[in-house]
Structure 1
Amino acid sequence: MHNLHEWHVENPHLTRQNRSQYQFKVNMWTGILNSQIIGPFEQPDALNGEVYLTFLQNHLPSLLEDVPLNIYREMWFQQDGCPAHYTRSVREYLDEEFPGRWIGRSGPISWPGRSPDLNPLDFFYWGAVKEKVYSKAIENEFELRQRIAEAAEFVNNGRFARKIARSL
């Protein structure tokens, strides 16, 4: 819903055909660490606090297994305003795993979930991925997943994460 924003000086009333509302959907998680994209990782369609906590405890560590321990101990974890990210159990886990180093609703660092300056995944990454994914009509859910993987690989190979990290 908030993953594609355009600002134009010459034509501030630009409109475009919306191609992102299809009958197929998948829920993906992605992260940026230094100049590396982590993921994407598919989440269940019905994301709630319990499911998200399971992801944080069981899947995120394997996604970060190649991160050196000294970097892991100093890295920050930021999330958007998704209600599943706000449950007490998730916040308690993040307080333990990233003490004083996580950004989100009711976290040690509270930040607006839709702030374009500190949420490059929503305001750049997913917009760029959606541009590639929805460039043509999608026939089925398998094709959607395949296009997401190809678009993510394109963004990763284009070293966009490095540019995103520098812009922060």
Structure 2
Amino acid sequence: MSIWRRSQQLGLCYSTTWKILRKDLGVKPFKIQLVQELKPADLPQRRIFGEWALGKLAEDPLFYRKIVFSDEAHFWLNGYVNKQNCRIWSEDQPEALQQLPMHPEKATVWCGLWAGGIIGPYFFKDDANRSVTVNGERYRAMITNFFLPEMEVLDLHDMWFQQDGATCHTARETMAQLRGEFGEQLISRFGPVNWPPRSCDLTPLDYFLWGYVKANVYRDKPASIDALEANIHAFIREIPADMCERVCQNWTQRMGYLRRSRGQHLHEIIFKH
């Protein structure tokens, strides 16, 4: 409830209510934290995954360096406008409008992140160089033509590969391809090691990379998809390897939090002071 509404209910002015809350009661305003929804069946799967990861880390404290985490994200061309944070201070109503296309353009980007750096970005496009969404065929083509060659260039061998449970990731043909490349070192839904559903808080791309990149690539307000893609590519290239190392070290901490929470949300991170 807002201070305005509460002050009206109490028959007090806004400033008096604010003084009571802040000065007399000594309380502070806090925002509600938005997190992914978890289903009851998700909790044991998350707990099992956390126990597995901690077991691997007990065997080898540097195990986190042997995982390539992967994910896709959409970057909308008009994504730099946040009307919730945009205010125009004026004596009169400026009647400012922003025209948005009916079907705004977007870039669909894939990246792999490991403790030594970032593989990518890879932009999903059709033969006419237009941005497209991901399906199983395009995802497998990316694995074959981009990801695996990049692994060879970086001399990454005996690595684990992680992906979430998106349909294009878990199609029969895709899983067969990934099993052929990674064998039992595959973390995925329907994989040798099951990736728990609705667990974006457990992958570095969701809890770090995408938000970090989106906070920066819109600063110069790119006017075209090409400009947006150039920004994404340039900014990802600037992320230093030591930052990726720290992000993956944080993943090991999250596994400990996950065990203590018994699969629930990671309160120790969400409400960290």
Corresponding residue for 1:91?
A: 175
User: Which range is displaced more, 35-44 or 10-19?
Assistant: 10-19
Give, in angstroms, the shift of residue 106 of structure 1: 0.9
Letter in 2 for 1:105: R
Contact 1:24 1:144 in 2 (8 A): no
Matched residues, percent identical?
Answer: 30
The Cα of 1:60 is off from its aligned counterpart by 1.4
Does residue 150 of the first structure (1) align with residue 234 of the second (2)? yes
1:35 to 90, 113, 116: 116
Counterpart residue type for residue 40 of structure 1: P
SS of the aligned residue for 2:105 comes to coil
1:45-81 per-residue CA deviation (whole Å, 9 max, x = no partner) reads: 131111111111222122112233xx51x21100123
Match of residue 162 from structure 2: 78
How far residue 137 of structure 1 moved from its aligned partner, in angstroms, is 3.0
User: Aligned-pair RMSD on alpha carbons?
Assistant: 2.8
| 1:128 maps onto 2:193 in alignment | no
Query: Is contact 2:164–2:188 with CA below 8 Å preserved after alignment?
Result: yes
Deviations 1:109-162 (A, max 9, x none): 1112542453111221011001101335331111111111122123x2373211
User: What's the counterpart of residue 61 of structure 1?
Assistant: 148
1:102 aligns with 2:172: no
TM-score (ref. length: structure 2): 0.51
Query: Structure 2: any 5+ residue segments left out of the alignment?
Result: 1-27, 35-80, 85-99, 126-131, 252-273
Q: Which residue of 1 aligns with 2:203?
A: 119
SS in 1 for 2:112: strand
Q: Is the 8 A contact 1:94 1:102 kept in 2?
A: yes
Partner of 2:30: 11
Cα distance change, pair 80–18 in 1 and its aligned pair in 2 (3 A): farther
Alignment gaps of 5+ in structure 1? 1-8
Contact 2:119 2:147 (C-alpha < 8 Å) held by counterparts: no
Contact 2:105–2:225 under 8 Å retained in 1: yes
1:51 equivalent in structure 2: 138
